[in-house]
Structures are given as structure tokens and as C-alpha cells.
């Protein structure tokens, strides 16, 4: 838990930084994301009226499953402008920001993670990881395009009207 002792908050606010075990993210049963180390935080708390305003940054190393090749890869998700306000009265001694840190970090996980930009993914036929090399499957068959007949009409040489005066042996 990331808890801030409210008794430490003075006129100039209070800064805390540290690490929490990656279990904070509760990813144990997530099929595509795993914690890969401690969650790090650097936060400042300020008293504003009846509210405690917490801002700063948090980050966590993760293993994510690539949406193309299904391999896990290492990355770091980072929230560079964490900002939440809490009612002072609700938290007499400690302010627990764990849930917001967790939610904000999980929101940074991309919907379609990629191990790298050019990931070739898996062969749709045999399932081979095409990043490791070609698999020898024939490329997927495509039916005849409705445009192919039109292509011939347009591209056939000689279908243009002959130019005057330059005909060769056709007189
Ligand atoms: Zn990949
Ligand atoms: Zn294949």
C-alpha cells in the first residue's frame, strides 16, 4: 500500500518517494500483463482547503504480451502527471493512494501492445512466429478481384486510337 502520513503534511506540503511490491497492481490473473518489479513513486501532498492534493509520478516495470506474436516483452508504464484530490476528513491519519496509483498505471497499458514496431506476428496458417523466420506456407489465397477484368481493359497496349501519320506498315 502507498500510504502517506497526514501528520507529516506541513505548510509547504510533504514529499514522499519509494517503492512498493508489484503485487500492488493485482495482475496475478491477468492474461496479457504481469508485474515485473516494484512500483516506484514520487509524490507531493499539499493541503488545499478541505482537500489533500496529491501529485507526482509513478511507474512500474511490466511484462506485456505482444498482440501480434503473443510473446511477453519487458516495458515500463509511467504516469508522469499523477493528480488526485482527497477529502481530508475521510483519512484521519493515513492517506492511501494505492487504488488510484494502480488504476492510473493500468490505464497506461496499451490496448494492443507490440513487442516492437515491426513485429511480424504469427503465421495465420501454421502459427509460426514470423519474427524468427519465414515458415514456408503459401501466402493466403485471394479470390479473383472484381477489378481484374477492368485492369485488362485499361492496361492492354494497343487499345488506344492510332496516331495519325506514324503508322508502321499498315497502309
Ligand atoms: Zn511481437
Ligand atoms: Zn506458416
Measure 91 CA to ligand 2 centroid, in angstroms: 58
Query: How many Cβ atoms from other residues are within 10 Å of residue 82's Cβ?
Result: 21
- Position 72 in a domain: yes
- Provide the pLDDT for residue 170: 47
- Decide if pLDDT at 161 tops 60: no
- Cell for 52? 489533500
Q: Note whether 84 and 56 are within 8 A (CB).
A: no
Question: Which ligand lies nearest the alpha carbon of 128?
Answer: 2
| 62 within 8 A of 109, measured Cβ to Cβ | yes
Distance CA 157, CA 74 (A): 55
- Assess if residue 80 is contained within a domain: yes
Q: 92 is written with which cell numbers?
A: 484521519
Domain span holding position 12 = 3-107
Cα 127 to averaged position of ligand 2 atoms, centre (Å)? 6
**Residue 125 covered by a domain:** no
Q: What is the DSSP string of 67-92?
A: TTT--EEEEEEEEEEEEEEEEGGG-S
| Rg for the chain, CA atoms, rounded | 30
Residue at 134 is within a domain: no
Would you say residue 62 lies in a domain?
yes
User: Is residue 52 situated within a structural domain?
Assistant: yes
- Ligand 1 centre distance from Cα of residue 72 (Å): 8
Q: Which of 86, 114, 109, 110 is nearest to 99 (CA)?
A: 86
pLDDT in tens, 79-112: 999 999 988 765 578 889 999 999 999 999 999 9
Residue at 148 is within a domain: no
Say if residue 159's pLDDT is above 80: no
Taking only the tens place, the pLDDT of each residue in 1-19 is 898 888 888 888 899 999 9
| Model confidence band, residue 120 (pLDDT cutoffs 50, 70, 90) | very high
Q: How far is CA 114 from CA 40, 118, 121, in A?
A: 24, 8, 9
What is the whole-number distance in angstroms between the Cα of residue 147 and the centre of ligand 2? 28
Q: Is residue 81 part of a domain?
A: yes
Q: What is the C-alpha to C-alpha distance for residues 60 and 40, in angstroms, rounded to an integer?
A: 6
Q: Are strands 39-48 and 51-65 parallel, antiparallel or unpaired?
A: antiparallel
**Ligand 1 center–CA 113 separation, angstroms:** 8
Q: Tell how far the Cα of 95 is from the centroid of ligand 1, in angstroms.
A: 40
pTM for this structure?
0.74
Question: In the chain, how many H helices and how many E strands?
Answer: 2, 7
How far apart CA 109 and CA 21 sit, in angstroms, is 18
- Kind and range of the H or E run holding 111: none
Gap between the Cα atoms of 59 and 2, Å rounded? 13
Count of domains for the chain: 1
pLDDT computed for residue 155 by the predictor: 53
Amino acid at each position: 500500500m502507498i500510504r502517506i502520513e497526514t501528520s507529516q503534511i506541513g505548510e509547504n506540503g510533504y514529499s514522499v518517494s519509494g517503492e512498493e511490491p508489484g503485487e500492488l497492481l493485482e495482475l496475478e490473473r491477468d492474461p496479457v500483463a504481469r508485474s515485473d518489479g516494484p512500483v516506484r513513486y514520487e509524490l507531493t501532498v499539499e493541503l488545499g482547503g478541505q482537500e489533500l492534493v496529491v501529485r507526482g509520478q509513478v511507474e512500474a516495470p511490466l511484462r506485456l504480451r505482444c498482440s501480434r506474436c503473443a510473446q511477453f516483452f519487458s516495458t515500463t508504464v509511467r504516469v508522469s502527471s499523477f493528480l488526485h484530490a482527497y477529502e481530508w476528513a475521510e483519512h484521519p491519519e493515513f492517506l492511501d493512494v494505492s487504488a488510484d496509483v494502480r488504476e492510473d498505471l493500468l490505464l497506461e497499458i496499451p490496448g494492443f501492445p507490440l513487442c516492437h514496431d515491426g513485429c511480424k506476428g504469427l503465421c495465420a496458417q501454421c502459427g509460426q512466429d514470423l519474427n524468427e523466420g519465414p515458415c514456408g506456407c503459401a501466402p493466403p489465397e485471394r479470390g479473383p478481384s472484381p477489378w481484374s477484368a477492368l485492369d485488362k481493359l485499361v492496361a492492354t497496349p494497343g487499345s488506344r486510337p492510332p496516331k495519325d501519320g506514324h503508322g508502321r506498315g499498315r497502309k
